[in-house]
Amino acid sequence: MHHREIAFELPPGRKIGPRYVVESFLGRGTEGEVYKIRELKTDICRAAKLYFSHRDPKHRLPITHARKLDTLRRCPIVLQYHHSEVITIRKQKVVAMISELCEGTPLDLWLAKHRGRRLHPYKALHVLYNLVRGLETIHDQKQYHADVHSQNILIKPIGVTFELKLIDFYDWGKPTSYKLKQDVADTVRLFYECLGAKRHYPNLPRDIKYICSGMRRQLILERFPTMTALRRHLETFEWSSMT
């Protein structure tokens, strides 16, 4: 199918079921589109993810996602799920998953606003630490994210820290040690990208290079076999150089 054949492209003011109206378009992925919506009775704004039915005709994906979000409802880094409902768009039944609306900017767009599209090592460490702490709470629930990258994270600077939210969880079946370790490896890779990746890596401080481990997956996981191990390292290592 062509892009326009599978896009919803709902305009502002368009009703979503009996209770909501579209405020604005937020983004689009392989599974569906996300909109900022407003509840008609209360004027409270939320987010709605509308799933493409042609990719999931039996609507199993939104059920899986909703159950996972509910399991992780006590994890601050996870969007809070509200409810799901079936709506009609152009005579097609579409599942809409309603969740909290989070303020923030996709991390890739936020990075693009920085000089050279990279962060100072100390600032990057703050972002990494907040991400690691959030993912650790997910792993503590015996769950995983499976797709940690800069387009799947919303970031909002608050004072000297950052509020992060993870979006677009993937389901690769039951949690395994491999999947949890993949989250660790992906998190370190994201840190590496925040620092300017290959171009700037040679000039980074030794302590930063230790975390990145030359982007050798086996070495990363030897040093940080779990998200907890990575968090503990970030809390205890002593700087040998601040340059």
> What does the alpha-carbon distance between residue 52 and residue 7 come to, in Å, rounded to a whole number?
8
Residue-averaged pLDDT of the chain: 92
* Contact call for residues 69 and 81 (beta carbons, < 8 A): yes
Q: What is the pLDDT of residues 109-140, one digit of tens each?
A: 999 999 999 999 999 999 999 999 999 999 99
Averaged over 209-218, what is the pLDDT? 97
Sorted by sequence, the CB contacts under 8 Å of residue 214 that are 6+ apart come out as none
The pTM of this model reads 0.89
Number of Cβ within 10 Å of residue 59's Cβ equals 15
> What does the alpha-carbon distance between residue 75 and residue 68 come to, in Å, rounded to a whole number?
11
| Residue 4: band (very low, low, confident or very high) from pLDDT cuts 50, 70, 90 | very low
Long-range pairs, 125-128, Cβ under 8 A, ≥24: 125/208, 125/234, 126/160, 126/161, 126/162, 127/155, 127/162, 127/164, 127/191, 127/194, 128/187, 128/190, 128/191, 128/194, 128/211, 128/234
* Contact call for residues 75 and 128 (beta carbons, < 8 A): no
CATH second-level architecture of 3-100? 2-Layer Sandwich (3.30)
pLDDT higher than 90, residue 164: yes
- CATH entry 1.10.510.10 includes domain 105-236: yes
Q: Where are the domains of the chain?
A: 3-100, 105-236
pLDDT higher than 80, residue 223: yes
Task: Identify the burial level of 3 via C-beta atoms within 10 angstroms of its C-beta, where 0-12 means exposed, 13-18 middle and 19 or more buried.
Answer: exposed
| Residue 240: band (very low, low, confident or very high) from pLDDT cuts 50, 70, 90 | confident
Averaged over 64-76, what is the pLDDT? 93
Q: What is the pLDDT of residues 50-60, one digit of tens each?
A: 999 888 888 88
